[in-house]
Amino acid sequence: MDVKRNNKKESLLPISRIKIIMKSSPDTENIGQDTLFLVARTTEFFVKYLTHKAYETHKKDKQKVLDYASLADCVQTMKSMAFLKEIMPRKITVKEYKEILKRKEIEELDHFCTVDT
Amino acid sequence: MAECLDDLNLPNTIIARLIKDALPQGVSVTAEAKAAIARAASVFVLYLTNMSNTKAKQDNRKRIIPKDIFDTLCEADFAEFVVPLQESFTKYKQTQNNKKAQKKDSMNTSKDEKEIMEDGDDNEQNGLSEKSDSNDNNQ
């Protein structure tokens, strides 16, 4: 399960890239080297965690493929993944989308009617 | 700073390796899922940064320190990361300290060598001056 890690390299993800991403946030002012390492490691853990959880949730299907749908399911249902909700939405077909639109239109019409009366 | 959009993504090969590690053997991952996980990882870094930033601001600090990250993880329902992270963090600290100690040692030894060299130079110079003195005497 554990990755073969070079003795010289403490984190797999490039620290420089992590720094660029962190600095792209406008509030960030100062980041220590320790913090950068910590964020890199945390992200590694997170990737493994997300993958593992997504695989577990769709394990019942007995498929040997991890696809986007199971990832989206996992993200939409877990509380800790709530920050990813908008980035990983469930995919819907055009037909479903049109149905949603229709429902919304009807709701709006109802709303107008109630306002008028 | 980020110059192009690609700079904000994490390297795909490493993400793919991490995914492979987390899954049992024989399970494949679609390209779409891989891309989604990579994107999620980038967003996670930003999410962590923002939360720890507010923590630092609350303490009237401009610098994000490791404690902010640990606190954020506990708050964001990722408390199970904390223990293994602390382990690897202490390891990292140890290696870092060792490196520093080694550097100091090498600095000291190189200094000593330099001093010895300088001493040697002095001796040579003295020898030369003595020689020139003797030459003067001869004249």
Predicted local confidence at residue A3, as pLDDT: 44
Per-residue pLDDT band at B7 (split at 50, 70, 90): confident
- Residue A5 class from Cβ within 10 Å (0-12 exposed, 13-18 middle, 19+ buried)? exposed
Q: How many CB atoms lie within 10 A of CB B55?
A: 19
With a cut of 60, say whether residue B127 has pLDDT above it: no
Hey, is the C-beta of A22 within 8 angstroms of any chain B C-beta?
A: yes
Residue A80 CA to residue A76 CA, distance in Å, equals: 10
- Please tell me the predicted confidence (pLDDT) of residue B116: 66
pLDDT at site A9:
61
Query: Within a 10 A sphere around the Cβ of A101, how many other Cβ atoms?
Result: 10
- Does position B137 have pLDDT exceeding 60, yes or no? no
Smallest Cβ–Cβ distance between B40 and the set A44, A64, A84 belongs to: A84
For residue B68, count other CB atoms closer than 10 A to its CB: 24
Q: Report the alpha-carbon distance of residue B42 to residue A18 in Å, rounded.
A: 8
Cα B100 to Cα A34, A109, B26, B65, B103: the distances in Å are: 14, 71, 43, 20, 5
What value does the mean pLDDT take over residues B48-70? 91
DSSP state of B77: T
Chain B residues with CB-CB distance to A14 below 8 A: 10-11, 14
- Selected residue with higher pLDDT from A116 and A97: A97
Closest chain A residue to B54, measured at CA: A27
Q: What's the CA gap between B57 and B29, in Å, rounded?
A: 40
Q: What is the pLDDT of residues A24-58, one digit of tens each?
A: 988 888 888 889 999 999 999 999 999 999 998 87
pLDDT value for A6 = 46
pLDDT > 70: what percent of chain A? Answer: 88
Nearest residue, CB atoms, B36 vs list A32, A64, A88: A88
Please state whether the predicted TM-score (pTM) of the whole model is above 0.80: no
- Measured between beta carbons, the chain A residues lying within 8 angstroms of B62 are 29-30
Q: Rounded to an integer, what distance in angstroms lies between the CA atom of residue B70 and that of residue B83?
A: 10
Mean pLDDT over B107-133 rounds to 60
Q: How confident is the model at residue A59 (pLDDT cuts 50, 70, 90)?
A: confident
Q: Is A74 on the interface with B (CB under 8 A)?
A: no
pLDDT the model gives residue B26: 85
Nearest-CA neighbor of A57 among A75, A74, A78? A74
Cβ pair A27, A57 in contact under 8 A:
no
Residues B22 and B44: their CA atoms lie apart, in Å, by 18
Residue B3 — pLDDT band, cuts 50, 70, 90?
low
Angle, CA of A75, A39 and B44, to the nearest 5°: 25
Which of A18, A32, A48 lies at the smallest CB-CB distance from B21?
Answer: A48
Question: How far apart, in whole angstroms, are the C-alpha atoms of residue B75 and residue B77?
Answer: 6
pLDDT tens digits along B28-53: 899 999 999 999 999 999 999 999 99
Please give the average per-residue pLDDT across A2-25, as a whole number.
75
Whether A27 and B53 have beta carbons less than 8 Å apart is answered as yes
